[in-house]
Structure 1
Amino acid sequence: MQDIISLIPQVLQGLTTTLMVFILTLILSIPLGVIIALGRISKMKILNSITGIYIYIFRGTPLLLQILFIFFGLPSLGLSIPRMPAAILAMVLNYGAYFGEIFRAGIISIDKGQIEAAEVLGMSKKDIFVRIILPQALKTVFPPVSNEVVTLVKDTALVYVVGLDELLKVAKIASNRLTSIMPFVVVAIVYLILNGIIAKVLEKIEKKYNYYQ
């Protein structure tokens, strides 16, 4: 018990890093996903192709490899990025690709009759997207987006490969020092609690905005 209590300050420090990576990735990757989705459904072939290649690369390669490439690979090309920004950049690009496909599916699921009716009423394309398409698309894609958000919490553990003191690294160091598996158990419980809170918040949001049913 004394060993567990001694772990609390380190776990809190690791939790701070984990939450920072999670929040920044979420805030930046969702808007990126919307932009990628618009590129995928665009009638401009160049834009459609570029976003298609982007999604193919970042969904087709492991996130861990992407983090390693950005932090260790880019310096060989003359572009050096600090640990935290490199980890955030890799995760944003990765989750932007996944969110992009999710949002694309939500956008194309909207009945075209609504769009045509809005055009007849003289609404601009911007107003049609913001006031008609996007609200309904967000409602449709909320469940898969929620799943990705929960997965994101667990994927933050991958940033340990660039030396960030997140929860997994804290547990590994403590486990080596104490020659015990208990630090991993403590960190696993922290992840479960964190995911439970996030899942409950997402569930309440989904119920609150479930006005299309």
Structure 2
Amino acid sequence: MLLDFFSVVIEYAPRFIPGVIMTLQLSVLSILLGTVFGFFATMLKMSKIKPLTKATDIYITIVRGTPLLLQLFFIFYALPDLGINIGRFTSAVLGLAFHNGAYISEIFRGAIESIDYGQKEAARSLGMTSWQAMKRVILPQAFKRSVPALGNQFIIAVKDSSLASVITITEIIMLTRQYSAATFNAWPMYFIAGCYYLIITTSLSKALLMLEKRLKVNER
């Protein structure tokens, strides 16, 4: 039985490549767009304009208070009823980015607030504007401190991309279900899917660890 198991794994593993590529595309685009959403949400929340901070708080509360699955369903099925028609892939990317952006925003905010206020005052005393002090002094240090937490969120984003299968995106989990139904042999398929996810997340973890070490070179 073990021989049969691994023979099926070897036979079907290459057939998952299109799904792996789709998963990588979803993950990379949603992470990049989610980081942009998160950064702007952080800037809006830290501004002194009450309507903007309130709108950002509502956005973060909605994302953190509702399941990602429900958010994907809303974007893919509810928006067309409102006259907003977007494709499956775009819906998945926007849904994942919208979700990740809220958590990334909180990571950025925590990192920025961890920087000693005296550094901003020192920058202002040198003649910098508030934005210049933020860009040249606060943000570089905050980014370095946020890398470990961002790495965890990026790994979660990769695994969350599996939920895109519910809106008929043919990624790893969708192919797993299709091949399981076709062969009536589910365990080898789920084993293959798990191995691919493990390879992706481990590679991402190694890359982020290298980035973290590189950013700490000048602290030694």
Task: Give structure 1 stretches of 5+ with no counterpart.
Answer: none
Aligned positions of 1:1-213 closer than 5 A: 1-180=6-185, 181-210=187-216, 211-212=218-219
Partner Cα distance (2:64, 2:142) in 1: 22
- Matched with 2:3 is none
Deviation at 1:212, TM superposition (A): 4.1
Partner Cα distance (2:30, 2:59) in 1: 18
Moved more, 62-71 or 7-16: 7-16
- Residue-by-residue CA offset, 1:86-142 (whole Å, 9 max, x unaligned): 011111111111001110111111111111111111012222111101111111111
- Residue-by-residue CA offset, 1:140-178 (whole Å, 9 max, x unaligned): 111111110111111010000110110011111111111
Deviation at 1:4, TM superposition (A): 2.8
Partner Cα distance (2:131, 2:46) in 1: 15
Moved more, 157-166 or 26-35: 26-35
Confirm or deny: 8 A CA contact 2:13 2:192 kept in the other structure: no
Percent of pairs identical after alignment?
A: 37
Deviation at 1:8, TM superposition (A): 3.3
Partner Cα distance (1:212, 1:103) in 2: 21
Alignment RMSD (CA, Å)? 1.2
Partner Cα distance (2:147, 2:13) in 1: 34
1:68 alignment partner AA = F
Partner Cα distance (1:31, 1:88) in 2: 13
Deviation at 1:77, TM superposition (A): 1.0
1:203 alignment partner AA = L
Deviation at 1:192, TM superposition (A): 0.8
Runs of at least 4 residues off by over 4 Å = none
Moved more, 5-14 or 171-180: 5-14
TM-score by length of 2: 0.93
Task: Give structure 2 stretches of 5+ with no counterpart.
Answer: 1-5
